[in-house]
């Protein structure tokens, strides 16, 4: 079953067509890789889907709902979480607070109805809510093995952990679909290996993952499906084996990459 | 001399309230706004008008002042909060001045001989500063506690997240616009309450006391103490008031011109931004999920203090 499809999705920046008429789809429960040379439009495609930016044309359907042009905060509440290519942590908040932010809209619904009353309740019963959120956030920190840093400022974490913390924050929202924008960028081999384990674990939680990655070994190892973009256009999609042998892809991307 | 100290205590109380409001806007949510003098002005006028013209008690005028300032904050906030950084700063600066100009145009002299505030038959007057100090600092304490509760709740955390990274906050399901406006309105309302107390103390209001310099002083208070840290901004209020009354305190009014203050505040802002952007006390790090009970925490603090001696 397709959990997400884009239909003729296009994003133009002035004269630049960053995403050009792309029909992209994600199969539920699988890990989908999105690859392509620098400037191919991968991040832009992510931004359109997650509501960070609005498409010029085309539609996006998630879980049977049309989510085209919805603001990011609504998209995330529907069950799409993401990380960013240039890490966007809340640097002056603690590690555990970062993950608690991921839980923000997960906690504190009942017994009051109406937004205003919910806000009042959140205020008055803050301690109780905090405890619940804290415990759930700590579970995610355990999942990534960074619980000993819970009370450190996010900015003080080493780079690899910052990337993992961002994934933890995204996962805390209990998403159906998780977008990772170059999660292994800047990681050393040990950190990358850990990341691959983590992605496997995430898949076994039943979360559908889409990831952008330049590290071909990682992509070929963990992805079930791969979509290739070049100059904003989709040039191929299929299994890793098929992509490895695809002539267009080798020309546009792998050929260059391997010299 | 002692009178001067008491005066500083009163004004630092008023400014501490304002700084708590500004801290909500700038420290927590990261919006650089420069119109607290406007909210202060509105609060002052509401109390002045209600007490003088309608003979309503000061205590009733207090919530009305907060509501009025909050409402104006809403009117200012909706169009301007889409702007960022410097642009927001300039837009709010202009709107703050507009508030003062409206007051000047209606009546350049202002309102004088406003009836005193009273509580259980006791009248607060500037002659008995001690009672007024207690009154204002009780309110500073109340708003400090209310603010701390906000800062350590889901709502306050969302505001902090917006300050740290708006795009990430959006992607965590936070309606950034709504939170920004709420934070702005709350900050404005607290500014209005500070205005009420100002009126209750001086018993006069005049448009000339709500200049742009007041906004700068409030911002300076927050930056000096430490953005986002309520304890720190109260400390900042003390220091700033002490500086601004320094000449009178030392009797050096002939030597140091009053304009020197403006230079000092400007200097403080620049120096702090460069060398200690986190403020004197720095960020308030809150430990969530600390399993110790309140009593155990107190004991731990006592033990630490004891160890230092
Ligand atoms: N906000 C923007 N304004 C103008 N042009 C943009 C904007 N965002 C992206 N672009 C352009 O769109 C194209 C695609 O950029 P995008 O960041 O999506 O590429 P990418 O595939 O993620 O590349 P990389 O692998 O380097 O991250 C680039 O040519 C870029 O310059
Ligand atoms: Mg990119």
pLDDT in tens, A114-158: 677 777 777 887 777 888 888 889 999 999 988 888 888 999 999
Q: 10 Å Cβ neighbour count for B118?
A: 14
Residue B205, beta-bridge partner list: B111
- Chain B residue whose CA is closest to A99: B172
Query: Given pLDDT bands bounded at 50, 70 and 90, which one contains residue A257?
Result: very low
Q: Residue A93 corresponds to which tokens in the numbers above?
A: 């908040």
Q: In this predicted complex, what is the ipTM?
A: 0.89
The answer as to whether A132 is a domain residue is: yes
Same domain, A168 and A200: no
Residue A113: the pLDDT is 58
| Residue pair A5/A61 in contact by the 8 Å Cβ criterion | yes
pLDDT of residue A254: 54
- Tell me whether residues B283 and A97 touch, CB distance under 8 A: no
Is A212 within 8 Å of A82 (Cβ atoms)?
no
Task: Look up the domain containing B90 and give its range.
Answer: 2-308
What local confidence, expressed as pLDDT, does residue A41 receive?
92
Q: Is the pLDDT of residue B291 over 50?
A: yes
Query: Helix, strand or coil for residue B54?
Result: coil
d(CA B206, ligand 2 centre) in Å? 57
Same domain, A224 and A202: yes
Average pLDDT, chain B: 84
Nearest to B172 among A101, A108, A130 (CB): A101
From the CB of residue B184, how many other CB atoms can be counted at a distance below 10 Å? 28
Q: Minimal CA–CA distance to A71: which of A99, A47, A103?
A: A47
Q: Does the pLDDT at position B116 exceed 80?
A: no
- Residue A160 falls inside a structural domain: yes
Q: How far apart are CA B275 and CA A181, in angstroms?
A: 35
CA distance A100 to chain B (A): 9
Q: Which residues form the domain of A16?
A: 1-79+175-259
- Out of A172, A197, A232, pick the residue that ends a domain: A172
* Domain final residue, candidates A121, A144, A172: A172
Residues A151-172 as b/e (b if ≥16 CB within 10 A, e otherwise) read eebbeebeebbbbbbbbbbbbb
Both A212 and A234 in one domain: the answer is yes
Chain B residue numbers with beta carbons less than 8 Å from the beta carbon of A138 are: 289
Q: What is the pLDDT of residue B304?
A: 66
Q: Please tell me whether residues A235 and A207 are part of one structural domain.
A: yes
Q: Quick: pLDDT tens for B181-231.
A: 999 999 999 999 999 998 888 888 888 888 888 898 898 888 888 888 888
Q: Please state the domain count of chain A.
A: 2
Q: Are B235 and B281 in contact (CB under 8 A)?
A: yes
pLDDT tens digits, A34-62:
999 888 999 999 999 999 999 999 999 99
| Residue identifier of the C-alpha nearest atom 12 of ligand 1 | A18
Spell out a b/e string for A179-197, using b for 16 or more CB atoms within 10 Å of the CB, else e: bbbbbbbebeeebbebbbe
Out of B153, B167, B173, whose CB is closest to A122? B153
What is the number of domains present in chain B?
A: 1
- A147 and A193 co-located in one domain: no
Verify that A224 and A256 share a domain, yes or no: yes
Contact between chains at A134 and B289 (C-beta distance less than 8 A): yes
A163 with A182, same domain: the answer is: no
| Whole-number Å distance between alpha carbons of B191 and B135 | 17
The answer on A180 and A162 residing in a single domain is: no
Would you say A42 and A35 are in contact if contact means Cβ atoms under 8 Å apart?
Answer: yes
> Looking at the CA of A52, which ligand is closest?
1
Q: Is the pLDDT of residue A23 over 80?
A: yes
Residue A189 Cα to ligand 2 midpoint, Å, equals: 21
pTM: 0.88
Q: Do B168 and A88 touch (CB under 8 A)?
A: yes
- pLDDT reading at B108 higher than 80: no
Distance between start and end Cα atoms, chain A: 38
Tens of pLDDT, residue by residue over B23-57, are 999 988 988 888 899 999 999 999 888 887 887 88
In degrees rounded to 5, what are phi and psi of residue B52?
A: -80, -50
Angle (CA) A68 A71 A77, round 5°:
95
SS (H, E, C) A146-167: CHHHCCCEHHHCCHHHHHHHHH
Give a yes or no: residue A85 inside a domain.
Answer: no
CB B10 within 8 A of CB B133: yes
Q: What is the pLDDT of residue A186?
A: 85
- A76 CB neighbours in chain B (<8 A) are 170-173
**Helix spans in B107-211 (H):** 129-151, 154-164, 166-171, 176-202
Q: Half-sphere exposure (CA, 13 Å, Cβ side) for A212?
A: 23
Q: How many Å apart are CA A241 and CA A249, to the nearest integer?
A: 12
Give the C-alpha distances (Å, rounded to integers) separating B45 from A77, A192, B184, B257. Answer: 43, 63, 20, 30
pLDDT > 50? residue B308? no
Is the domain of A6 the same as that of A47? yes
The C-alpha torsion from B185 through B188 and B189 to B191, rounded to 10°, is 170
Q: Could you tell me the CATH number of the domain that includes residue B114? A: 1.10.3470
């Amino acid at each position: 079953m397709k959990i997400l499809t884009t239909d003729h999705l296009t994003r133009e920046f002035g004269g630049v067509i960053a995403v050009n008429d792309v029909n992209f789809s994600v199969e539920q429960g699988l890990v989908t890789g999105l690859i392509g040379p620098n400037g191919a439009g991968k991040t832009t495609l992510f931004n359109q889907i997650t509501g960070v930016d609005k498409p010029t044309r085309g539609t996006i359907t998630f879980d049977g709902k049309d989510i085209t042009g919805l603001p990011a905060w609504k998209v995330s509440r529907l069950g799409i979480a993401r990380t960013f290519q240039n890490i966007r942590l809340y640097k002056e908040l603690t590690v555990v607070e970062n993950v608690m932010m991921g839980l923000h809209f997960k906690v504190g619904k009942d017994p009051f109805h109406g937004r205003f009353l919910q806000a009042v309740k959140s205020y008055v019963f803050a301690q109780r809510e905090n405890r619940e959120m804290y415990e759930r956030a700590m579970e995610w920190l355990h999942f990534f093995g960074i619980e000993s840093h819970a009370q450190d400022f996010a900015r003080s974490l080493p780079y690899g952990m910052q990337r993992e913390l961002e994934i933890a924050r995204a996962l805390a929202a209990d998403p159906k679909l998780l977008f990772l924008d170059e999660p292994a960028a800047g990681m050393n081999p040990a950190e990358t290996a850990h990341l691959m384990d983590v992605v496997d674990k995430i898949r076994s939680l039943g979360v559908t993952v889409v990831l952008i990655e330049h590290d071909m070994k990682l992509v070929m190892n963990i992805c079930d499906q791969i979509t290739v973009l070049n100059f904003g256009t989709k040039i191929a999609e299929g299994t890793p084996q098929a992509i490895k042998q695809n002539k267009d892809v080798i020309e546009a991307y792998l050929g260059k990459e391997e010299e | 001399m002692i009178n001067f100290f008491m005066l500083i205590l009163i004004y630092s109380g008023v400014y501490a309230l304002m700084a708590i409001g500004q801290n909500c806007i700038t420290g927590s949510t990261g919006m650089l706004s420069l119109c607290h003098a406007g909210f202060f002005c509105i609060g002052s006028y509401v109390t002045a008008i209600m007490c003088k013209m309608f003979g309503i008690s000061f205590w009733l005028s207090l919530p009305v002042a907060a509501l009025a300032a909050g409402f104006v904050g809403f009117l200012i906030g909706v169009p301007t909060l889409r702007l960022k950084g410097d642009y927001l700063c300039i837009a709010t600066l202009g709107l703050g001045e507009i508030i003062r100009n409206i007051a000047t145009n209606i009546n350049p002299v202002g309102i004088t001989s406003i009836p005193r505030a009273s509580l259980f038959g006791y009248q607060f007057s500037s002659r008995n500063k001690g009672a007024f100090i207690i009154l204002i600092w009780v309110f500073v304490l109340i708003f400090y506690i209310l603010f701390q509760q906000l800062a350590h709740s889901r709502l306050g955390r969302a505001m902090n997240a917006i300050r740290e990274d708006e795009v990430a906050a959006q992607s965590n399901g936070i309606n950034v616009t709504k939170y920004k406006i709420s934070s702005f309105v709350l900050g404005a309302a607290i500014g209005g309450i500070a205005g009420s107390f100002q009126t209750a103390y001086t018993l006069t209001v005049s448009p000339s006391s709500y200049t742009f310099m007041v906004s700068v002083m409030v911002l300076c208070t927050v930056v000096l103490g430490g953005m986002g840290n309520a304890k720190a901004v109260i400390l900042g209020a003390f220091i700033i008031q002490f500086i601004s009354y320094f000449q009178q305190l030392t009797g050096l009014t002939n030597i140091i011109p009053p304009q020197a203050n403006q230079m000092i505040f400007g200097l403080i802002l620049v120096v702090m931004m460069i060398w200690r952007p986190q403020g004197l006390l720095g960020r308030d790090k809150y430990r969530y999920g600390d399993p110790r009970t309140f009593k155990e925490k107190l004991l731990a603090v006592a033990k630490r203090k004891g160890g230092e001696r």
